[in-house]
Amino acid sequence: MDIVFSYSPAWLLLIISLAALISYWFYRKDKAFGEQSVWIPRLLGVFRFISLSLIAFFLLEPLIRTETTEIQKPIIAIAVDNSESILNSSDSTYYKNDFIKSVNDLANELSESFEVDLLSFDESVKKGLDLNYDGKVSDLSNLLNELETRYYNRNLGAVIVASDGNYNKGINPSYAPIALSAPFYTVLLGDTGKVNDLAIDEIISNSISFLGDDFPLEINMNAEGMNNSDYSLEIYNNGRSVFEFKGKVDSENWFKSISTVLPAEKTGIQKYTVRLKSTADERIQQNNEGVFYINVLDERLKIAILTSAPHPDVAVWRNALKTNKNYEVEVLDVDKFNNNINDYSLFILYQLPANSSHITLLNKIKDAKIPYLIQIGLATQLDHLGQVFTENYTIEGNSSTEENIKVKINDAFSLFTIDKRIVNDQATFPPLRAPLVELKGNEVYQHLMTKQLGKLDTGIPVWLLSESSDTKNGIIVGEGIWRWSMTSFSLYGSHDPFNEFLQQTTKYLVRKGRNKRFDINIDKEYFEGNRIKLNARLLDPSMEAAIGGDISFNLKNSSNEVFEYAFGESGMKYSLDLGALEAGDYTYDAKAIIASETFRLNGSFTVKKMMLEQKDSHANASLMYQWANKTGGSLYYPDQLNEIKDKISQSNLSSISYKTESFSDMIRLNWLFFIIVLFLSVEWFLRRFYGSY
């Protein structure tokens, strides 16, 4: 511990000299002490000198520097797989009881010499060893990322990973780089040998069909250890058998794909159950059943993309919307358009009006109250656009001045759910090219995207969607979304995430009934294990967002159990978190009360069962060996945990010492303050006592 100064300590000489000079000058001719002993004024001068010196000393802002040394033991991280696939083995009872005890014993023994961190993982990584093997998804690449985040630049001695090596989310762990320098000691859980198993590997179907149409269906099956056994495949719709197929497994490692078509006979969300049965004994039965859903619609919607010139953006819109079988998409030259406007459910107005001749058609679309989406580009005549849609938007700008716009997705946007991949990777999407324009919505709108300058979210709208108008509409500032589609393909290996993003915008605009004063943003399908978050909208008679409402939500499952919820108010919206619901069919009844008015909504949705963890019937020893071999570790089995302990104990892992410096102000030392007060008080008392003031 030592003392440092914020200013040069050379000032101490001046401080001491001045304090001595002032003290001497003050007492050198004080007549009050003329009859007293000479030591009294000298003593008081010393008191004055000490007090002044200490007070001036603090003007240099002295700090006390303290150096501490911390010894960090080597860290041993133990991560255990908590996914459902661990219990697919014949030793499921062992993993529920004895194995957990063995891991805890290993941790206790290692903790005598090392710092031990216990972790459990499935889709995410959690602190502690809370194992119930209920994880619906396994993400081993996320485990690697989490380990690197937790232990980067720390004294990590070794990592023990206990898993069956099976994964169904994230990138292939075999190719994931391992930045940690510590060895991985992998423990292979589950069955290492093949088991008798017949399974539904994949069900491929469209999500939408139309009443009276036949929709295609493909079912992929696989089997191992089931040679010469008979099987049957049945498909049920609401308990009624609609398809049956019988066959024989004719090899040890068997795969078969069955394709068929089924009729769409009833509108609405239709649930289909696929069941696979075998004459042979199987240990795992969960992967013999699958469920898929078809939304059967009774009409096709026509969408017109009007443009004055070809552009890659137009192709992106067309390709994205054509993947939805519910849409009939037409790309039309605005100068040649003479169709019946009322035949269409939505108009996408791409860079229109490009000249004054287009104003008449745009006015007809607006007057017909048909939903529309405007995309502004460099060819858009902003003054003409503002004249046509003056009731909806205030548009000011210069068509001849160009700018590049980076966008930020609005976290509070609630009209529909945006793919998390798009949200997480939005910073990688190239900027849009746009004329210099200032845009303002004149009705109730939500900002889907705003303009971003560097790290600053300006709040200036780039992508707007109406919320309260009887004719839904939207506007996008900028061209170049084809680059976003290419970025989607580069990031995800597919255009699908971005296509779905464009479809979500379109679905919202063509969806009927959104001019209701009470509505809930709720999907028809969810997956088991995922949190279900709902947003509600409540409007006053002037179609403005209303606050102070009371919204109740009653949910009934397939067993007729009723659960009561209430929406919470947050700003100008209402939200409700239902959590993760079990698989099944649900109906709901919602009631909103605002002032003296009451509104009701009811409907249904389905939570689909996730069977990802039932697809793998035996352990992936190859991957667990690769992890160990790549890092200089070894592969072990659950009964060899003591060997891991001995291996780590013999690894000559050493502790690391860290030195840290801390600083504190000396002026905070109370005892110094009391010393100064003491000297000043004694000096004052003696001066009073001897008659000097």
535 vs 529: CA distance, rounded Å: 19
Q: State pLDDT tens for residues 455-487.
A: 888 989 999 998 765 688 999 999 999 999 999
Among 5-19, 160-174, 581-595, the range with the most confident prediction by mean pLDDT is: 581-595
- Those residues with Cβ within 8 angstroms of residue 624's Cβ, 6 or more apart along the chain or in another chain: 161, 163, 165, 186, 187, 188, 635
Residue 54 dihedral angles phi and psi, to the nearest 5°: -65, -40
Q: State pLDDT tens for residues 602-626.
A: 888 888 766 554 555 566 777 888 8
Strands 289-297 and 208-210: parallel
Q: State pLDDT tens for residues 284-313.
A: 677 788 888 887 877 678 999 999 999 999
Least confident of 52-56, 197-201, 388-392, 686-690: 686-690
127 vs 93: CA distance, rounded Å: 24
Q: State pLDDT tens for residues 636-658.
A: 988 889 998 888 888 888 777 76
121 vs 142: CA distance, rounded Å: 9
* pLDDT at position 126 over 60: yes
Residue 515 — pLDDT band, cuts 50, 70, 90?
very low
Question: What pLDDT shows up at residue 193?
Answer: 59
Question: What pLDDT shows up at residue 514?
Answer: 42
* pLDDT at position 409 over 90: yes
Q: State pLDDT tens for residues 161-215.
A: 988 877 767 667 776 778 788 899 999 887 665 667 788 878 888 777 777 778 8
Question: What pLDDT shows up at residue 329?
Answer: 94
pTM of the model: 0.42
What's 592's DSSP letter?
Answer: E
* pLDDT at position 92 over 80: no
Do residues 76 and 117 make contact, with C-beta atoms less than 8 angstroms apart?
Answer: yes
C-alpha triplet 390, 391, 392: angle, nearest 5°: 90
What's 135's DSSP letter?
Answer: B
* pLDDT at position 315 over 90: yes
| Residue of higher predicted confidence among 453 and 4 | 453
Do residues 440 and 392 make contact, with C-beta atoms less than 8 angstroms apart?
Answer: no
Question: What pLDDT shows up at residue 392?
Answer: 85
Which tokens sit at 308? 């004055």
Mean pLDDT of the chain: 84
DSSP-derived secondary structure for 438-498: EEEESS-EEEEEEEEETTEEEEEEEEEEESS-SS-EEEEE-B-HHHHHHHHHHHHSSSHHH
Question: What pLDDT shows up at residue 69?
Answer: 72
Least confident of 232-246, 271-285, 330-344, 425-439: 271-285
* pLDDT at position 596 over 60: yes
633 vs 622: CA distance, rounded Å: 14
Question: What pLDDT shows up at residue 590?
Answer: 94
| CB atoms closer than 10 angstroms to residue 497 | 19
Average pLDDT in the 482-502 region? 93
Least confident of 385-389, 521-525, 542-546, 609-613: 609-613
Which domains occur in the chain, in start order? 2-68+663-689 (no CATH), 74-192+618-654 (3.40.50.410), 197-297 (2.60.40.10), 301-510 (3.40.50.880), 526-612 (2.60.40.10)
